[in-house]
A and B are shown apart, each in its own frame.
Chain A
Amino acid sequence: MIVGDFMQHKVVAIEAKSTIQEAARKIVKQHLGVLPIVDEQGKPKGIVHLQDLLNLELPDFVHFVGDVDFVHDFGAVETTRPTTEMLMRSITTLMQPVITVDENCGLLRAYALMLQHRIFDIPVVNKSGKLVGIVSRVDIGTAILSQWSGVRTKKS
């Protein structure tokens, strides 16, 4: 039971020289939650999550006020957009450190890594460190459950 058997082989990544706008375009077009950032050799350098991009628009007060239940209307914030100048900055300004697993990594280890780092997708690399796929909590979770007795259906 290794990650390589259950990962998505089609993985969308972006080069480090791209802008925030280009990353956003890619995320929107492919409907993604994460976007690994790779160097020229195709090795993961970092990652941006959908959330990192959304932080550009999220109002500051959300970080300071513990409970926003009493704010029924976000008012001007709802229509505030990041400036074009901000979107032209390099995607590396939003880059987070990336956690990767080898394609031979066991499923439970991959799942434990996700839990501990509070992430939902892990890029998968091969022996030489190149990005070869990506695996989500659902991919791994269902793969594990499918091993339980009487769970796997005949068809699969």
Chain B
Amino acid sequence: MMLPAILTSAIFLATLWLIFSEKLDRTITGIAGAALTVALGKLLGFYSETAALKSVDFNTLGLLLGMMILVALLEPTGFFQYLAVLAARLSKGRPVRLLILLGAITTILSMFLDNVTTVVLIAPVTILISEILGVNPVPYLITEALLSNTGGVATLVGDPPNVLIGSAAGLSFDDFLIHSLPIVLVAWFAVLFLLRYLFRRELTIEPKNSKAVMELNPTEALEDRRMAQRVLIVLAIAILAFFFHSRLHLSPAFVALTAAAVALLWVRPNMREMLERVEWSVLLFFAALFVMVGGLEAAGVLEGIVKLLENASVIPPVLFGVALIWIIGIISAFVDNVPITIAMIPVIQGLGASGMKIDPLWWALVFGAGFGGNGSIIGSTANIVVVSLSEKTRTPITAKQWNKIGFPAMLLACVVSSILYVLVYPLF
């Protein structure tokens, strides 16, 4: 039974490599990899269409789709623009204050909404604010990406790996608030102080014209007030429902999709335009990865890894968890953290089945996958989005520049979360 294991692993690793090297679009890579895995499974008799379908986690897909629809409805209202302009006015054009306010807004938004959308919508206004101030936008753009990656780790819906882990491990929204949020808060402030230090030179340059930001009018930046109000009310109720979803025995996917349905009924948007803003490629990519990892499981690859890791259980469980934060963190800095998370979930479940206490390991996976994304320019989609936007401006962000800021930010967040992980380990 070695052949299926070797071949499915080869397909999975080739997929990761193609995504990493950006030679092929990740969704195309994923779909091709999934088709190949199923074909191989049928040929060698270890995997089938039915099994492939069963390995897709529809709870994750439902939650992501529901939240994507809510964001797609909020996007054209100018609400994100409104918040960024408000931040600019409150900062009175002072660089450090502006950095903190823009960073905080991006973080709070990305705790409840998709990081990528948040960054896509805040970054253009950031460039606007920097240009009329006469300062370099790069520190603000990098800060937004790093802080939104960091903040997203705090909640069940903040980051795709969290959605995956929450769904697989049965962790509720509250579980994240109790176990992840406090640690993320400390890590977030640590990263903020680090950024303040690393950008100290850029932030002491006096803006050429700090008066102009006071002329920006937030209410004018809000393009559709009525629609924004409606979507925000629904979003607020959805977040409230997330707090109680486990007690009410509702799945997060049900909450998100119901909220999406209510918002759609209330707003009644042009569906064609709205659906264009939903990131179908992300959902397809996830589904394809589920099918591939299902293949890895059926071929016995993950079982092999579990056996290997069981030997490591001689080391204290706390250290095992810390090691997991760092290994997953470093891998996530260079490879998309979604496939890594999807592949790690059955491994941790396998360790659980063999008697290991796995509750703390889920949190190690959350921190590793989340904070690791800061490490390189390709570590998270938010990073890629910010960098590709900056490449169209006069001040493009280079990989070298990113590594000088993002890599220390990742190390610091991993150090902070490791220390706190050890301290609160008995509570997990």
B192 to chain A, nearest CB (A): 25
Residue B239 at the chain A interface, CB threshold 8 Å: no
Residue A155 at the chain B interface, CB threshold 8 Å: no
A61 near B131 with CB under 8 A, answer: yes
| Given known A64-B127, A75-B132, contact A70–B208 (CB-CB < 8 A) | no
| Given known A60-B392, A60-B393, A61-B124, contact A72–B131 (CB-CB < 8 A) | no
Residue A85 at the chain B interface, CB threshold 8 Å: no
CB neighbours of B207 from chain A (8 A): 76
CB neighbours of B340 from chain A (8 A): none
CB neighbours of A80 from chain B (8 A): 134
CB neighbours of A72 from chain B (8 A): 215-217
Nearest-neighbor residue (CB-CB) of B395 within chain A? A60
**Contact among A64, A68, A75 with B389 in the assembled complex (CB-CB below 8 Å):** A64
A57 to chain B, nearest CB (A): 11
What secondary structure prevails in chain A residues at the interface with B? loop
A76 near B215 with CB under 8 A, answer: no
What does the 1/0 interface line of A68-94 toward B look like (CB < 8 Å)?
Answer: 111111111101100000000000000
Residue A117 at the chain B interface, CB threshold 8 Å: no
Nearest-neighbor residue (CB-CB) of B124 within chain A? A64
A61 near B128 with CB under 8 A, answer: yes
B194 to chain A, nearest CB (A): 27
CB neighbours of A65 from chain B (8 A): 81, 124-125, 128
CB neighbours of B220 from chain A (8 A): 69-70
B212 near A76 with CB under 8 A, answer: yes
What does the 1/0 interface line of B196-239 toward A look like (CB < 8 Å)?
Answer: 00000000000111011101111011010000000000000000
Compute how far the CA of A72 lies from the CA of B215 in the bound complex, rounded to whole angstroms.
6
A26 to chain B, nearest CB (A): 25
| Given known A60-B394, A70-B85, contact A77–B132 (CB-CB < 8 A) | yes
**Contact among A67, A69, A76 with B131 in the assembled complex (CB-CB below 8 Å):** A76
Residue B104 at the chain A interface, CB threshold 8 Å: no
A74 to chain B, nearest CB (A): 6
| Given known A75-B132, A75-B133, A76-B207, contact A61–B127 (CB-CB < 8 A) | yes
| Given known A61-B127, A61-B128, contact A74–B212 (CB-CB < 8 A) | yes
Compute how far the CA of A61 lies from the CA of B84 in the bound complex, rounded to whole angstroms.
14
CB within 8 Å of A: which of B73-100?
Answer: 78, 81, 85
What secondary structure prevails in chain B residues at the interface with A? helix
Compute how far the CA of A110 lies from the CA of B215 in the bound complex, rounded to whole angstroms.
45
| Given known A60-B392, A73-B132, A75-B133, contact A67–B223 (CB-CB < 8 A) | yes
Residue A63 at the chain B interface, CB threshold 8 Å: yes
Compute how far the CA of A115 lies from the CA of B217 in the bound complex, rounded to whole angstroms.
37
| Given known A60-B393, A76-B133, A76-B134, contact A71–B216 (CB-CB < 8 A) | yes
Compute how far the CA of A59 lies from the CA of B135 in the bound complex, rounded to whole angstroms.
12
Compute how far the CA of A72 lies from the CA of B221 in the bound complex, rounded to whole angstroms.
11
B216 to chain A, nearest CB (A): 6
CB within 8 Å of A: which of B122-152?
Answer: 123-125, 127-128, 131-134
Compute how far the CA of A60 lies from the CA of B130 in the bound complex, rounded to whole angstroms.
10
CB neighbours of B218 from chain A (8 A): 70
B394 near A73 with CB under 8 A, answer: no
B132 near A76 with CB under 8 A, answer: yes
Compute how far the CA of A68 lies from the CA of B212 in the bound complex, rounded to whole angstroms.
14
Nearest-neighbor residue (CB-CB) of B132 within chain A? A75
Nearest-neighbor residue (CB-CB) of B393 within chain A? A60
B213 near A75 with CB under 8 A, answer: yes
B127 to chain A, nearest CB (A): 5
A70 near B221 with CB under 8 A, answer: yes
What does the 1/0 interface line of B366-391 toward A look like (CB < 8 Å)?
Answer: 00000000000000000000000100
CB neighbours of B208 from chain A (8 A): 75-76, 79
Q: With contacts A61-B125, A75-B134 known, what are 20 further pairs, Cβ within 8 A?
A: A59-B131, A60-B131, A60-B392, A60-B393, A60-B394, A64-B123, A64-B124, A64-B127, A65-B124, A67-B78, A67-B223, A68-B128, A70-B217, A71-B216, A73-B215, A75-B209, A76-B133, A77-B134, A79-B209, A80-B134
Report 24 cross-chain contacts, Cβ distance below 8 Å, ordered by A residue: A60-B127, A60-B393, A61-B125, A64-B123, A64-B127, A65-B125, A65-B128, A67-B223, A68-B128, A69-B220, A70-B218, A70-B220, A71-B128, A71-B215, A75-B133, A75-B134, A75-B215, A76-B131, A76-B132, A76-B134, A76-B208, A76-B212, A77-B132, A80-B134
8 A-B pairs closest in CB distance = A75-B212, A76-B134, A75-B132, A64-B124, A70-B220, A61-B128, A75-B209, A73-B215
Question: Which B positions have Cβ atoms within 8 angstroms of A?
Answer: 78, 81, 85, 123-125, 127-128, 131-134, 207-209, 211-213, 215-218, 220-221, 223, 389, 392-394
